Amino acid sequence: MRTAVSQEKLKAVWSAQVGTYGPLVSWTITQRTQAQGLDVRIALLKFDHGELQALVSVHPGNQEVGGFFIRPVPSSSKPAPPALYVHPSDFRSTEISIGKAPFVLGATLTVPVGLGPFPGVVLVHGSGPQDRDETIGANKVFKDLAEGLASRGIEVLRYDKRTFVYGAKLGDSISVDDEVMVDAAAAVTALRARPEIDARHIFVIGHSMGALLAPEIGIRSAPVAGVVLLAPPGRPPWDIVLSQMRFLGASPKEIAEMEQKVARLKAGTLGSERLLGAPQSYWKDLAAHNGIGMAKKLGAPVLVLRGTRDYQIMEEDVAAWRKGLAGLPNVDTVILTGLNHLFIAGSGKPGPSEYDKPGHVDGSVIERLAEFIAPEKE
Task: Give yes or no for a contact between 161 and 183, defined as CB atoms under 8 angstroms apart.
Answer: yes
Catalytic residue, candidates 289, 341, 360, 364: 341
Catalytic residue (choose from 310, 317, 356, 362): 310
- Return the C-alpha torsion angle 305, 136, 50, 249, nearest 10: -30
DSSP 345: B
Catalytic-role residue among 15, 57, 127, 208: 208
Q: CA-to-CA distance for 8 and 278, rounded, in angstroms?
A: 11
* Local structure of residue 127 (DSSP, 8 states): S
Q: Identify the three-state secondary structure at position 107.
A: strand
Q: Which of 247, 299, 293, 13 is nearest to 128 (CA)?
A: 13
Helix (H, G, I), strand (E, B) or coil at 98: strand
- Concerning whether 175 is annotated as a catalytic residue, the answer is no
Q: Which residues pair with 285 in a beta bridge?
A: none
- Is there a catalytic annotation at residue 39? no
Q: Active site includes 310?
A: yes
Question: How far is the C-alpha of 95 from the C-alpha of 213, rounded, in Å?
Answer: 25
Tabulate helix, strand, coil % of the chain (nearest 5): 35, 30, 35
> Could you give the residue numbers annotated as active site?
208, 310, 341
